[in-house]
Structure 1
Amino acid sequence: MEYGKLLLVDDELAILTMLQTILIKEGFTKIDTATTAEVALHYCGQQSYDLILLDVMLPGQSGFDICPQIRRLTNAPIFFVTARTSDLDKLSGFALGGDDYITKPFNPLEVVARIKAQLRRLQLPTEMQTTLQFPNLTIYTTSGEVYFKGEAIELSAQVYQLLLFFAKHPNQLFTKSQLYENVWQDAYLGEDNTVMVHIRKLRQKIECDPSNPKRIVTVRGLGYKFMPGAQL
C-alpha cells in the first residue's frame, strides 16, 4: 500500500531520524523534514502534504505560532507533538487548527498507527464518496469541499470528519464517547474537551448564530444531534 506524503517538523534531529526510519519501514516513502518554523512554512508553500507532524517547542516561532499560517496553505491534518500536557495546551492546539495532540515521550509505533488511521479516513473508496445535500449546506465528499449558504468554507481535517459523521447520521443522538470513538477511531478515555472544542469549531462554520445552535444541538446530559432541516 502506498501512503501519502508527510512533513515532519521537530528541532530534535534524533526524533526526526527515529520517526523517519520507522515510517519508511512502515511503507511511507514520501517524507520531508524541517527543524525550524521558517523551513516548515516554506515547504508548505511549495509542496502538497497529506499530513503534518508539528512540534510545538520550535526555536523562534513555535508550532502554535505557525499553525494558523499553515492552515491558510493547506487543509492537511496537523498532529501537534509536544512535552506540554495540560488541558489548556491541548485546547489551544485544537483551537488553532490541529487535528491530534501527541505528548512526549511517545511510542513511535503508536504515532505511526495514528497517522495511518487518519490517512485511511481521508482516503475513502470512490464508490463511498457522494454529495450530501441539506438546506443551506452541501458536502462534496469526493473533493472534501463544503458550502454553507452557497459559499465555500474551510474546515480542518478533523472538523470535516466530524461534520461528515453527523451528515451521514442525521437526527441521531450521539454521546461524546460515541462521537470520539467513531470520528477519532480511538478508545474514549474521558476526552470531553476534544469533542467539545471540535463541536464549537463546527458550529462556528455552519450555524448562523453559533451561541444559539439550531443544526448541531446539545441534548443536555446525553450528547449531540445533527438536525439537517433546522431553520437557520
Structure 2
Amino acid sequence: MANKVLVVDDERTIVKGIKFSLEQDGMKVDCAYDGEEAVNLAKANTYDIILLDVMLPVIDGFEVCQQIREFSQVPIVMLTAKGDDMDKILGLDYGADDYITKPFNILEVKARIKAIMRRTSKQDKEVSVLTFGSLVVNEEYRRVYVGDREINLTSREFDVLEFLVATPGKVYNRSELLHAIWGEDFPGDERTVDVHVRRLREKLESNPSEPRYVRTKWGSGYYFQA
C-alpha cells in the first residue's frame, strides 16, 4: 500500500515541487495551503506523515501541530524558513517529530520521510512487550501504558523511550542520543534531546521533577531506571 503524505505550505510552488517528487516515488499526496485546511484534512484522513510549514495563514504551523496532537500521533516534520534554533525547538515542544530548514533539497526531504517510515513501520517486526512495574512498552504497536492509562507519545518520543529501555541503567549523553535516534547527519541542536526527555517525563511521570523512569546522571546524560 502506498504511503500517504499531507504537505502543508502556503507557497504553492513549493507544494507543487514536493508533491511531484513524492508522487514519483509512488506516494499519495494531499495538499493544504493554510492551517485550518490542514487540521480538517488531518481529521478526515489517515496519513503516514505530515510536512508542515511554520508560517501559515489562518492558523500558524505551531498551532496546527498542537491541534493535530489532540487526536493523532502521526509523525510531523516542520518546515521552517527561520534560522533561529529556538523556533525549531518550539516546534518540537508542540509535538513535532523533526524539522527541516528552508531552503531545502528535496532529496533531504525524501530521506527524512523514508527514515521516519522505517522507524514507524510495523511490518516484519517481532512482538515485544516490555514491562517495568506499572510501565508497559509495546514495541510492535508502538504504544505505551502506565497502569491502565495509555500514554500518547509522538514518534520521536517513543523512539527515545524505546532506545533507553533497551539498556536499562546505561547512561547516554546528548550527542549519543541525537546520533542514535536522529541520525549522524541531523543538523539540529543537542537541546532537541532535552526537549524530548522533558516531554517524556511530563507524560510518564506523576512528578516530572523527580522522575522515576527517565533519569538524569548529572554531568553525563540520561538513562532509564528499570
Question: TM-score, structure 2 length as denominator?
Answer: 0.94
Alignment correspondent of 2:206: 208
* Residue of structure 1 equivalent to 2:99: 101
Greater mean deviation of Cα atoms: 45-54 or 116-125: 116-125
Q: Which one of 67, 73, 79 corresponds to residue 77 of structure 2?
A: 79
What pairs with 1:180-191 in structure 2 (closer than 5 Å)?
A: 180-187=178-185, 191=189
In the other structure, the counterpart of 1:145 is: 143
- In the alignment, the residues of structure 2 paired with residue 44 and residue 37 of structure 1 have an alpha-carbon distance, to the nearest angstrom, of 11
TM-fit CA distance, 1:206? 1.6
**Do the aligned residues in 2 keep the contact of 1:126 with 1:142 (CA within 8 Å)?**
no
Q: Distance in 1 between matches of 2:167 and 2:123?
A: 19
Distance 1:79 1:190, change over 3 A: closer
Aligned twin of 1:17: 16
Q: What letter matches 1:145 in structure 2?
A: R
| Structure-2 residue corresponding to 1:33 | 31
Kept in 2: contact 1:170–1:227 (CA 8 A): yes
Q: Deviations over 1:71-93 (max 9, x none)?
A: 11210111110111212211210
Deviation at 1:198, TM superposition (A): 0.3
Report if aligned partners of 1:44, 1:73 keep a CA contact under 8 Å in 2. no
1:169 to 1:4, Cα distance in 2 relative to 1, 3 A: farther
Secondary structure at the counterpart of residue 88 of structure 1: helix
Q: Percent identity?
A: 39
Tell me the amino acid that sits aligned with residue 12 of structure 2.
L
Residues 107-186 of structure 1 correspond to what in structure 2 (within 5 A)? 107-186=105-184
In the TM superposition, residue 3 of structure 1 has moved relative to its aligned partner by: 4.7
Deviation at 1:189, TM superposition (A): 5.5
Q: Any idea what SS the aligned residue of 2:70 has?
A: helix
Letter in 2 for 1:35: Y
| Runs (4+) off by over 4 Å | none
Q: Cα 1:97–1:127, aligned 2, differ >3 Å: closer, same or farther? A: closer
Partner of 1:68: 66
Structure-2 residue corresponding to 1:44: 42
Residues 89, 192 of structure 2: 8 Å contact kept: yes
Gaps of 5+ in 2: none
Contact 2:85 2:189 (8 Å CA) reproduced: no
Q: Report if the CA contact (8 A) 2:8-2:33 is conserved.
A: yes
What code does the residue aligned with 1:13 have? R
1:48 and 1:74 in contact (8 A); partners too: no
The alignment of Structure 1 onto Structure 2 pairs a total of residues equal to 226
Aligned match of 2:5: 6
What letter corresponds to residue 72 of structure 1 in structure 2? Answer: E
Q: Partners in 2 of 1:218 and 1:39 — Cα distance?
A: 41
For residues 211 and 102 of structure 2, the distance between their equivalents in structure 1, rounded to whole angstroms, comes to: 37
- The CA RMSD measured in Å over matched residues stands at 1.5
1:25: how far off?
A: 2.0
**How many Å apart are 1:124 and its aligned residue?**
4.2
TM score, norm. by length of structure 1: 0.92
